[in-house]
Structure 1
Amino acid sequence: MSGESAADAADDPTDPEDIDASDVSGAVTEQYERIVRARKVRALLAGLLILVVGYFFANALYAVELLQANLPQYFGTFLEALQDFFPFLVSVEGFPWITFNPGGFLEYWAFIQERNLIYNPEASLTDPSTGGPLALFGEAGITLSMGFAGTIMGFPLALLFGILGSGRVTPFPFNFIFRGVMSSIRAIPALVWALIYVPLGGIGPTTATLAIATDTIGNLGRLFTDELEEIEDGPIEAMRTTGANKPQIIVFGMLSQVTTPFIAWTLYIFEINVRIAVSLGIIGGGGLGQVLNVQQGLFAFTNMMATILVILVLIISVEMFSQRLRSRLRGEDETQGFIDLLLGFPQRMAESLLK
């Protein structure tokens, strides 16, 4: 037996002494060549992707007639026209010599006071017939009220659909009924929902608030569903072993795990809804958006810029409040500073228009 064991050991291919150096070198070379080929394939695919994106980008520029426009020809005229928006910029001896006139800001403030954009002296803190505390902020308060009321109105159905849309609560395929409803709501932008509700409440803040509430059901409900899909199974199994019924498992085993994320997502949707309220105001929904639209129709560009500044202050204030609160709830998120919120404002407004 000892002889056979010695022979087997001598023939063992895993024995380091029996491994041929040429075999090791060949394996290393093959692995190296495989890595080189993979990198070449990735580089080729990346190049093809760049070419495809570039092709469609060039076609997109032609489609929007950007390449056909002779923008440099009108650049000087454009800069001079900016004085209509920014009266504190005064041209001296023609373009490009421009000086700064601090007194131009007084034109902004005069229009803000005249139209009660940020303060309405007729509103009362205790009398709901005057609009209550939110109306005290004038047109900005109306925009804020539309976003706030729409969020609160849409929250119950968003919570219901979000729970029933989860596969942990409603078995497949019945959960896709509620997911389909939320997807259908999200497929229609809030702007279109406002047009759909026009026969119901006319064009005004009521229609805009209903559109925001409907949009909230789809967006917030889907976020709730996604959170429920990520919860831990331990608490659920523990409650089942104690004989808890289905409602008790849902409330104490599932929802108890996502209370903080649910509140954080609701605050986030509230931010979005305030920006949507501005967008809906442009089609007659009231608030700052309607003031902006009216001044644009009158070609009162200085007044337009004053309204945009108030919109900027309103949106940034709501976002800072929401982010600070969400950061405290989660205990780990870093809040964005004022500069970051300011620089990201155009992108967030564009995203709100598409919701």
Structure 2
Amino acid sequence: MSTDTPSEQQTGVERDPRLKAQFDEIRRGRRIRWLLVAAAAAVVLFFFYNALYAVEMFQADLTRYFPNFLEALTDYFPFLDFSAFPFFDPSGFAEYWAFIEERNLIFDPEASLTDPETGGPLAIFGEAGITLAMGFAGTLIGFPLALLFGILGSERVLPFPLNFVFRGMMSAIRAIPALVWALIYVPLGGLGPATAVLAIATDTIGNLGRLYTDELEEVEDGPIEAMRTTGASGPQTITFGMLSQVTTPFIAWTLYIFEINVRIAVTLGIIGGGGLGQVLAVQQGLFKFTNMMATILVILLLIISVEMFSQRVRSRLRADESPDGFLTLLLGFPRRMAESLTK
């Protein structure tokens, strides 16, 4: 171990030209990195300032409307009372439940399990059941074409550039959000749950099909070659040599897309697709903030219930995947709902 003092080590560096050149190169590299970091930070701050200016953040007088904001908070959360300590009134929760019962958000007493005219089993869950039905039906309608496009989009099945045709179709579908697909289908089925289901099904073809294609690109060659040596036909090779290897991932990805589709069903409801989203939009138009918050709570309950079910099933199918806890799902709910707008 060297016992030289720092001054002695510095003297040794100065005496050896090679060490001095390496030392200078290290210092020069550090200066360049810091300059690049500073330049990147300056660019980000410049665009951040311009973004705030573009959205008129500097012109907005937020303090002027702050009292109105506090009043709206008491409407959103009727259990809050800022005029008295400790600012909490448990009886406010009764207003949420009154609206949930009035609009049959989670239970419809007139629905029947056996009578299809009343909606069937899912209709028992009221508006939440309609939202769930939209996501479920859209997933199943889109599944066959997603499977077909996913298989034909794999280079293991069709050579380039034939497979690129199906990859391009899936990319084109994914490039258009489900919200826009719903608007495209309005002339076909009007504005309602049926149109929302068609939009979700179309979106499923692009998203789920691409996931299937990616899984098929990773399958082992051994089972495929074994099927070919036995004289199996092309469809038999695909079915027993390729699809048999990805059955578990396919089920897991389908459940994941189902999660996304239920969130999309909520957002489509806001533009008139029915279900909880439409109830939320109507109450927002009436400025009934307490009713809006009650609807949001039901949406939160529905989405997290679907996600917990899906993640538990996927964690059993995939040994290397652990399901997220309730708190993680709750905290990530706003981000996932925002992402569903672009799906």
Same fold (TM over 0.5): yes
> Which of the residues 118, 121, 132 maps onto 2:106?
118
Is 2:178–2:200's contact at 8 Å kept on the other side of the alignment? yes
Q: Distance in 1 between matches of 2:201 and 2:316?
A: 26
Query: Does 1:228 pair with 2:216?
Result: yes
1:259 Cα shift?
1.1
Whether 2:194 is the aligned partner of 1:206: answer yes
Q: Given the alignment of the two structures, is residue 265 of structure 1 paired with residue 253 of structure 2, yes or no?
A: yes
Listed as ranges, the matches of 1:278-289 within 5 Å are 278-289=266-277
8 A contact 2:105–2:298 mirrored in 1: yes
- Cα distance in 2, alignment partners of residues 51 and 330 from structure 1: 45
CA distance in 2, matches of 1:273, 1:182: 17
Query: In the alignment, what sits opposite 1:146?
Result: 134
Name the amino acid aligned to 1:272: I
Shift of 1:210: 0.5
Larger mean CA deviation between 68-77 and 308-317 belongs to 68-77
C-alpha separation in 2, matches of 1:40 and 1:301: 55
- Provide the rounded CA distance (Å) in 2 between the counterparts of 1:35 and 1:213: 57
Q: Contact 1:80–1:91 at 8 Å: present in 2 too? A: no
CA–CA separation in structure 1 for the residues paired with 2:19 and 2:220: 44
Tell me the SS of whatever aligns to 2:158.
coil
Kindly tell me: are residues 170 and 300 of structure 1, through their superposed partners in 2, closer, same or farther at Cα, counting changes over 3 Å? same
- Most deviating of 208-217 and 78-87: 78-87
1:43 aligned to which of 22, 34, 38: 34
Structure number with greater Rg is: 1
Distance 1:191 1:178 in 2: 23
Q: Which residue among 286, 291, 305 is the counterpart of 2:279?
A: 291
Q: What per-residue deviation string (whole Å, max 9, x for no partner) do you get for residues 138-159 of structure 1?
A: 0000000000000000000001
User: How has the CA–CA distance of structure 1 residues 171 and 82 changed in structure 2, closer, same or farther, with 3 Å as cutoff?
Assistant: same
SS of 1:90's equivalent?
coil
Deviation, 1:73, is 4.0
Unaligned runs of 5+ in 1: 1-21
- Provide the residue aligned with 1:108 in structure 2: 96
Please name the residue that 1:55 is paired with. Answer: 46
Amino acid at match of 2:188: L
Q: CA deviation at 1:28?
A: 6.0
What corresponds to 1:75 in structure 2?
66
Deviation by residue 1:140-179 (Cα, 9 ceiling, x = unmatched): 0000000000000000000100111111111001111001
Distance 1:166 1:99, change over 3 A: same
Match in the other structure for 2:75: 84
Contiguous gaps of at least 5 residues in structure 2 = 1-12
2:257 matches 1:304: no
Structure 1 residues 243 and 43, CA gap change in structure 2 (3 angstroms): farther
Give the root-mean-square deviation of aligned CA atoms.
2.0
Q: Given residue 330 of structure 2, which amino acid in structure 1 is its aligned partner?
A: L
Answer yes or no: is the 8 Å Cα contact 1:92–1:98 preserved in 2: no
**Does 2:179 correspond to 1:188?**
no
The percentage of aligned residue pairs carrying the same residue is 75
Residue 209 of structure 1, CA deviation: 0.5
Q: Does 1:244 align with 2:235?
A: no
Query: Cα–Cα, structure 1 residues 238 and 32, in superposed 2: closer, same or farther, change >3 Å?
Result: farther
Counterpart among 322, 325, 328 of residue 337 in structure 1: 325
- Tell me which moved more, 313-322 or 74-83: 74-83
Instruction: Give the TM-score taking structure 1 as reference length.
Output: 0.88
- For 1:31-69, what per-residue CA distance to the aligned partner results, in whole angstroms no more than 9, with x for missing partners? 555555444443333332222222212111111112322
Give the match for residue 19 of structure 1: none
